[in-house]
Amino acid sequence: MNESEQHLGMDHMNMDHDMKGMDHSQMDHMDMNSQDMEHHDMSNMDMSHMDMDMGDGHMMHMGNLKRKFWVSLILTIPVILMSPMMGVTLPFQLVFPGSDWIVAVLGTILFFYGGMPFFSGAKAELQMKRPAMMTLIAMGIGVAYVYSIYAVIANNLFHVTPMVNNFFWELSTLIVIMLLGHWIEMNTVMSAGSAVEALGKLLPQEAHVLDENGKTTDVQLSDLQVGQLVAVRAGEQIPADAKIISGESDVNESLVTGESKAVKKAVGDAVIGGSVNGTGTFTAKVTGTGETGYLAQVMKLISDAKHSKSKSENLADKVAGWLFYAALFVGILAFIVWVTVANLAVALPVAVAVFVIACPHALGLAVPLVVSRSTAIAAQNGLLIRNRNAMEQVNQIKYALMDKTGTLTMGEFKVNHLVSLSDNLSDNDVLALMAGLENGSSHPLATGILTAAKTQNVTFTGASDTHQETGMGQFGTIAGTTYGVVAVNYLEQHQLAYDHDQFTEFAAEGNSISYLVAGEQVLGLVAQGDQIKPAAKQLIASLKHQGITPVMLTGDNQETANKVASNIGIDDVQARLLPEDKERLVKEYQQKGKVLFIGDGVNDAPSLTRADIGIAIGSGTDVAIESADIILVSSDPADVIQFLDLARATRRKMTENLWWGAGYNLIAIPLAAGVLAPVGFMLDPMVGAVIMSLSTIIVAINAMTLRIKTVKDVAQD
């Protein structure tokens, strides 16, 4: 739903005006599938496969990732059965003449097939001079593979027994575990839809273009140009922003504006690309297409902010980067020292052991397991998490910007005052005229007027030639006279006289006020009140307790906004906003700290994606929901509190897992290098393997201790 003021003077706008002042928006992780480009062309908008970020820059398709995991797992089973673990042959393992060569062949296939994504990711990381998880994994499996091939050849062809037979066991398990971790992460990411794809699907494949002789030719949407005439037939999607020059119809704009019922369109009215035509047919002149069209601009906003949201590295990648440098330094240093004090035969296995022990088995699962668990808990409690990065930024949030109508209030208006300002019209006459203008609209203010007319048994005639004027309101013709339902902004802009004291009195009660005008005459007014959601006050109190400053953003008048804000405890109120003002304010507040934004309308999409964390009310429009990081399924403000608490618990579990995943390396790496050799202690490879396995198990168990009570008990606390 949109704000009440947007309905009267701002929501009834053409789409060109809606886009003023908007620049960047975002979508994390996913873009429109390239196959859909052929069907939903947006004039070469930049889209790509729905892929997964494997490291910094390397992308891997979901299907490839799943296939690589299963193939690698199958190949790993015989490797585990026939190769030593950290140089130690276990009782259950199968060792027979030629088993080393079988393991070497399987290990080679695993190395090149299952390990290739990590080498590609490492290459991208090194090109950007930011070695992280992929580089650490690539170093570990690379060193393990080269040494293991050397060990097999030396042992079987030259009958030279190396200190450690081979590391194929470590190589295969590391590849499988890393692929599993990325698959878990990918499933979490891919569970959400794409805002860009949702918008792109609103447009048809082709447009029916009319030439000078009235002949119709079907052209691809990418070839459509501003100024061309297009024929729109019954039931078709409108191909581009346009202005009707002949014909009329009822147009369903719900997927674009959130207005669920059809809007009557006639000659001179603007139509939005992506809207669905009703039973009529019309000819329209294209006013915007490609990058100038409304949907294309919103798509650009959502895509562009992808680069302006969180640019911080994943914490696991940071830890992996530190481990990479630590293992590289310690391994080389240990090799040099042992070559000096002993010989190459001793130094090489020690250096290799350091590099292999540094491989992040548990680290690769530390974050994905917690994210997967957290996402499942959230979904069970009405929170749909579309962007995991949002949860990692909760502790830095300083401001919570939010809508009024539909977010903090119910969006169900009730007429509290109905006043005729004309001697020729009764109160019911004013209500009848307003109802006639608003007939067919499902906007909260329109619904309030229509409900009042029905309750009071007021009969009315639907207006003809209804249309919206930018920044003005809703207009139409009844009995040959043109009327308008407008906000106070319209009266001030056109210098129409009205009773300021009366307006202030009604607005101070928390009412949204609509005026009935005809030409330069103000004929009457209706003041409607909205109900505050029961959990709104609890939300504001909780935000303040957590050190987050709540800010109300509304298109409604200042007096009404102040009344609602006062009732729920908000001190910072921004009222009488145009749709583009919200996104501008998000950017302004971001100069002072990280911002959380809560909204539900299509005009909120850029703000939702611009904010560091965007939360959409589940009853909002599709585009708004698809643009958010978090979706509140029940539309209950209290769920914001649950999300914040769950996010903090998730962050805490991630940190704990990262310590468990990397902590053993802090001890194992120097011990493997022989730092305690002077006192007679060298880390036994078997002990290193046990610690590595225990670390992985602890990480998994710790992730599962993230309980549902973290969310459910919030309301009881």
Look up residue 156 and give its two tokens: 């079987």
Q: Which helix (H) or strand (E) holds 348?
A: helix 344-357
Catalytic, 556? Answer no
Helix 116-127 and helix 133-156, axial crossing angle in degrees, nearest 10: 130
Task: Report the alpha-carbon distance of residue 629 to residue 614 in Å, rounded.
Answer: 5
Alpha helices in 613-684 (DSSP H): 622-627, 638-672
Summarised one tens digit per residue, pLDDT across range 240-264 is 888 999 998 888 765 554 444 577 8
What are the structural domain ranges in the chain? Answer: 52-193+312-370+652-704, 202-306, 383-409+533-633, 414-529
3-state secondary structure labels for all residues of 612-632 = CEEEEECCCCHHHHHHCCEEE
Indicate the residue type of 251: V
Please check whether residue 601 is in contact with residue 253, taking contact to mean a CB–CB distance below 8 angstroms.
no
Q: What is the pLDDT of residue 28?
A: 33
Q: What is the pLDDT of residue 15?
A: 30
Q: What is the pLDDT of residue 86?
A: 53
Domains 383-409+533-633 and 414-529 share a fold: no
Query: What is the CATH topology of the domain spanning 202-306?
Result: 2.70.150
Q: Which helix (H) or strand (E) holds 449?
A: helix 444-455
Q: What is the pLDDT of residue 291?
A: 61
Residue 43: C-alpha distances to residues 40, 47, 143, 228, 318 (Å): 9, 11, 48, 16, 39
Other C-beta atoms closer than 10 Å to the C-beta of 403 total 29
Please check whether residue 230 is in contact with residue 284, taking contact to mean a CB–CB distance below 8 angstroms.
yes
Indicate the residue type of 450: L
Task: Report the alpha-carbon distance of residue 206 to residue 56 in Å, rounded.
Answer: 38
Q: How many CA atoms lie within 13 A of 118 on its CB side?
A: 32
Q: What is the pLDDT of residue 430?
A: 94
Burial class (CB in 10 A: 0-12, 13-18, 19+), 16: middle
Pairing of strands 263-265, 58-61: unpaired
Pick the CATH number of 414-529 from 3.40.1110.10, 3.30.70.1150, 3.40.50.2000, 3.40.1370.10: 3.40.1110.10
Q: What is the pLDDT of residue 357?
A: 73
Alpha helices in 83-225 (DSSP H): 99-109, 116-127, 133-156, 168-190, 195-200
- Catalytic pick from 100, 403, 581, 622? 403
Please state the CATH superfamily assignment of the domain spanning residues 383-409+533-633 in this structure: HAD superfamily/HAD-like (3.40.50.1000)
Please check whether residue 675 is in contact with residue 622, taking contact to mean a CB–CB distance below 8 angstroms.
no
Residue 268: C-alpha distances to residues 19, 245, 262, 464 (Å): 21, 6, 17, 13
Question: What residue ranges of the chain have pLDDT lower than 70?
Answer: 1-63, 85-93, 133, 161-165, 181-182, 184-203, 253-261, 290-316, 359-362, 364-365, 379-380, 441-443, 469-472, 578-579, 601-603, 618-626, 633-634, 684-694, 708-717
pTM for this entry: 0.54
Look up residue 240 and give its two tokens: 């581009």
Look up residue 242 and give its two tokens: 């346009």
Q: What is the pLDDT of residue 708?
A: 55
Residue 546: C-alpha distances to residues 167, 587, 643 (Å): 50, 22, 13
Please check whether residue 688 is in contact with residue 86, taking contact to mean a CB–CB distance below 8 angstroms.
yes
Q: How many CA atoms lie within 13 A of 89 on its CB side?
A: 9
Question: What's phi and psi for 448, nearest 5 deg?
Answer: -65, -40
Look up residue 158 and give its two tokens: 């030259």
Q: Which helix (H) or strand (E) holds 69?
A: helix 62-82
Q: Which helix (H) or strand (E) holds 541?
A: helix 536-545
Residue 715: C-alpha distances to residues 627, 640, 643, 711 (Å): 27, 11, 12, 8
